[in-house]
């Protein structure tokens, strides 16, 4: 276990090197590849492999799209980054997490205080700026994490920019399983009063896991309101989760 912690420390140090030294020297495509590789390496270090069901398409920068998923763990953004480099929307509290908060800021995460209209406007501005750079944006419309059995209500705020810019939506369904027994694992679930460091320790001590990611067909935002788009994405995520049971 000590060796794993030392490797994780190395991964965090490498994250700062990648974000604050390497990335400024790279073009947008190189930056995306560097973040994807670091995310994949970190998951591997934690004993987590990724199994993709469906077609994600090219991970290279291209036409912008919104990726939405059910939310289980702080691991979820790493999982999604291995599939497609994205600019994430996250709650303001993440910015204050030890180490991870600094990494999130380095990844240009758009932080939002859901109780603040001004913060919501800034979220929209940050997402729009990412779309204008042909970057993907990603988030968790439930607004909280769950154990992953069911999908909570998808709030519609996140879909406003997709409707305004007519970008397609990809619905992702995540489920963590024990790699040997193939039963659903609740170890990564970041729920209740558990803190980040406690959750990290649980993940490190757990047997190897696989996270299954079901990818939907692209959902065209044209003709939708943000509310109907949220409802459709939620339905797709739930249906995809049920296919994993």
Q: Given pLDDT bands bounded at 50, 70 and 90, which one contains residue 119?
A: confident
| Stretch among 4-13, 17-26, 170-179 having the lowest mean pLDDT | 4-13
pTM: 0.90
- When divided into structural domains, the chain yields a total of 1
- Coil, strand, or helix at residue 168? strand
Environment class of residue 43 by beta-carbon count within 10 Å: exposed (0-12), middle (13-18) or buried (19+)? buried
Once rounded to an integer, what is the mean pLDDT over residues 53-76? 82
Average pLDDT value over all residues in the chain: 88
Q: Given pLDDT bands bounded at 50, 70 and 90, which one contains residue 63?
A: low
More confidently predicted of 66 and 108: 66
Summarize pLDDT for 146-165 with one digit per residue, the tens: 999 889 999 998 899 999 99
User: Domain with 24 in it: what CATH number?
Assistant: 3.40.1130
Domain that holds residue 210: 2-242
Q: Given pLDDT bands bounded at 50, 70 and 90, which one contains residue 56?
A: confident
Q: Are 73 and 46 in contact (CB under 8 A)?
A: no
Q: Given pLDDT bands bounded at 50, 70 and 90, which one contains residue 1?
A: low
């Amino acid at each position: 276990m000590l060796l794993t912690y030392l490797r994780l420390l190395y991964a965090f140090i490498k994250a700062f090197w990648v974000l604050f030294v390497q990335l400024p020297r790279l073009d947008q495509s190189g930056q995306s590849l560097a973040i994807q590789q670091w995310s994949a390496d970190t998951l591997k270090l934690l004993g987590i492999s990724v199994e993709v069901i469906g077609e994600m398409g090219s991970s290279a920068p291209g036409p912008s799209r919104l990726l939405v998923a059910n939310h289980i763990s702080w691991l979820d953004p790493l999982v999604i980054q291995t599939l497609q480099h994205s600019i994430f929307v996250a709650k303001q509290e993440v910015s204050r997490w030890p180490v991870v908060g600094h990494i999130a800021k380095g990844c240009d995460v758009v932080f939002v205080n859901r109780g603040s209209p001004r913060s919501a406007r800034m979220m929209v501005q940050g997402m729009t700026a990412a779309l204008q750079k042909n970057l993907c944006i990603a988030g968790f419309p439930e607004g909280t994490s769950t154990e992953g059995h069911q999908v909570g209500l998808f709030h519609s705020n996140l879909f406003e920019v997709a409707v305004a810019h007519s970008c397609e939506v990809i619905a992702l369904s995540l489920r963590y399983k024990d790699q040997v027994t193939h039963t659903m694992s609740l170890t990564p679930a970041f729920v209740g009063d558990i803190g980040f460091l406690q959750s990290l320790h649980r993940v490190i001590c757990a047997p190897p896991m696989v996270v299954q990611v079901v990818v939907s067909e692209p959902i065209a935002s044209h003709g939708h309101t943000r509310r109907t788009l949220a409802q459709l994405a939620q339905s797709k995520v739930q249906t995809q989760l049920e296919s994993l049971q």
